[in-house]
């Protein structure tokens, strides 16, 4: 049989490759400590599970859901946005639930990037920004994120001939993989730039609620003019430890949300209503568990930063996300250091080049493993890095 040529453009998905390597190592009996995938090890809060259980026993949730989501779930999203960011959203016209934010991120280029048009994508960045664009037939222009600029793109460095063909700009703060954070002023510059060049600004905001040291992550939709040109993706996955539940949303500019709605009615049949009721419980229920989750990640961040520093690898403790973006030791590349750690001490990390060529020289450590395993991982590293 012959596969479509568009499949040939796709590299192996980074996290699928990490899972494969872990499975191979465990099959040979290795005790793997994985810092690779950002999948929270903490449990989903009990009141959310209770809400799902109750809703799943209601036969009314067992039929096809609405394509556009339950009105009560969309209203819970708008209420959360108002409380958290001071942003007022129209639950009917400016919010669209998603089968996890990844689904919406992947499909956005189908609605906004024609063949020959360009998506502006952070490098390093979440791989789905690029793969979604490629499968839509679009072209990719990578915006390098370097330490000297705080891992933010230089908008003025984008060539004019690229901008003429561009329709979408992707941003992601707090950042995966760099863990960089920004202030509202950065988003003001981004919105001004996108409005000036008729671009849709697509902000992946999956980590806004995992922040440390008093930093509070802004929403791009707080910025004046953003509702004319921007959408923001959110997810319950990292905020409430619900990665397997696949519940997220996109909100923002009415024209963009309408296009996404039209696309989704032809792709899927919406989110199981019981999951949406659980989402309401997450957004409207007690939030103390979030503070506990953030405290746990901050403790892990500090453990890992202190451990790496004791080995001569200095990492500035990030103000957000569940990752550390760690420079590799001298004499190593991202790939060679990743292979070295797996072969020598059964530790898995994600190579920086898996997120784009500018990721060379870094690896990503995830904080989503139990404290005792993290501490053991630090000791294993100490044995081969110092």
At residue 139, does pLDDT exceed 70?
yes
The phi, psi pair for 121, rounded to 5°, reads -130, 135
* 271 touches 65 (CB < 8 A): yes
* Sign of the dihedral through C-alpha 263, 190, 120, 232: negative
CA 344 and chain centroid, separation: 30
At residue 259, does pLDDT exceed 80?
yes
At residue 243, does pLDDT exceed 90?
yes
Q: What is the mean pLDDT of residues 143-162?
A: 97
DSSP state of 99: S
Identify the H or E element spanning 191: helix 184-196
To the nearest 10 degrees (0 to 180), the angle between helices 334-345 and 371-385 is 110
- pLDDT recorded at residue 28: 80
Which residues, including other chains, have CB under 8 Å from residue 111's CB and lie 6 or more apart? 256, 259, 260, 262, 263
pLDDT, one tens digit per residue, over 35-69 is 988 899 999 999 999 999 999 999 999 999 998 99
pLDDT band at residue 8 using 50, 70 and 90 as cut-offs: confident
**Domains of the chain by residue range:** 5-44+288-385, 46-284
Considering the domain delimited by 46-284, tell me its CATH architecture: 3-Layer(aba) Sandwich (3.40)
pLDDT band at residue 13 using 50, 70 and 90 as cut-offs: low
Please state, as a whole number, how many other Cβ atoms lie within 10 Å of the Cβ of residue 297: 22
- pLDDT recorded at residue 2: 72
pTM: 0.95
Q: Which two tokens stand for residue 10?
A: 């796709």
pLDDT band at residue 249 using 50, 70 and 90 as cut-offs: very high
How far lies 40's CA from each of 114, 262, 279, 284, in Å? 36, 32, 17, 21
pLDDT, one tens digit per residue, over 15-42 is 677 777 778 877 888 899 999 888 999 9
State the fold for domain 5-44+288-385: 3.90.1150
pLDDT band at residue 10 using 50, 70 and 90 as cut-offs: confident
166-170, 218-222, 265-269, range with the lowest pLDDT? 265-269
pLDDT > 70: what percent of the chain?
98
At residue 12, does pLDDT exceed 80?
no
* 347/31 Cα distance (integer angstroms): 9
Q: What is the mean pLDDT of residues 153-162?
A: 97
Helix or strand or coil: residue 180?
coil
237, 350, 121, 192 alpha-carbon torsion, rounded to 10° = 60
- pLDDT recorded at residue 304: 97
Q: What is the mean pLDDT of residues 87-111?
A: 97
Q: Which two tokens stand for residue 109?
A: 């280029």
Average pLDDT, whole number, for the chain? 94
Q: What is the mean pLDDT of residues 180-192?
A: 98
- pLDDT recorded at residue 274: 97
């Amino acid at each position: 049989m012959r596969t479509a040529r568009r499949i040939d453009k796709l590299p192996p998905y980074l996290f699928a490759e990490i899972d494969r390597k872990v499975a191979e190592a465990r099959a040979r009996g290795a005790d793997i400590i994985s810092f690779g995938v950002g999948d929270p090890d903490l449990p989903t809060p009990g009141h959310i599970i209770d809400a799902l259980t109750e809703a799943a026993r209601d036969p009314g949730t067992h039929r096809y859901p609405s394509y556009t989501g339950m009105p009560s779930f969309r209203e819970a999203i708008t209420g959360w946005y108002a409380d958290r960011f001071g942003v007022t959203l129209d639950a009917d016209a400016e919010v669209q639930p998603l089968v996890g934010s990844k689904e919406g991120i992947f499909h956005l280029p189908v609605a906004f990037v024609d063949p020959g048009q360009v998506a502006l994508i952070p490098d390093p960045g979440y791989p789905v920004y690029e793969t979604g664009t490629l499968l839509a037939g679009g072209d990719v222009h990578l915006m390098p994120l370097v330490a000297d600029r705080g891992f933010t793109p230089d908008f003025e460095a984008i060539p004019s001939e690229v901008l003429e063909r561009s329709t979408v700009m992707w941003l992601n703060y707090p950042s995966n993989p760099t863990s960089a954070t920004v202030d509202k002023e950065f988003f003001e510059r981004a919105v001004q730039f996108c409005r000036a060049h008729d671009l849709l600004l697509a902000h992946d905001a999956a980590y806004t609620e995992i922040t440390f040291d008093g930093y509070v992550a802004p929403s791009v939709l707080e910025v004046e003019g953003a509702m004319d040109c921007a959408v923001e993706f959110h997810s319950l996955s990292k905020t409430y430890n619900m990665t397997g539940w696949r519940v997220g949303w996109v909100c923002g500019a009415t024209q963009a949300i309408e296009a996404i709605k039209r696309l989704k009615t032809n792709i899927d049949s919406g989110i199981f209503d019981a999951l949406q009721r659980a989402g309401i419980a997450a957004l409207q229920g007690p939030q103390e568990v979030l503070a506990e989750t953030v405290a746990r990640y901050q403790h892990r961040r500090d453990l890992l930063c202190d451990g790496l520093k004791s080995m001569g690898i200095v990492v500035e403790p990030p103000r957000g996300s569940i990752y550390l973006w760690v420079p590799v030791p001298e004499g190593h590349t991202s790939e060679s250091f990743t292979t070295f750690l797996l072969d020598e001490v059964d530790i898995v990390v994600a190579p920086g080049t898996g997120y784009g060529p500018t990721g060379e020289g870094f690896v990503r450590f995830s904080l989503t493993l139990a404290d005792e395993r993290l501490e053991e991982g630090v000791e294993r590293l100490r044995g081969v890095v110092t």
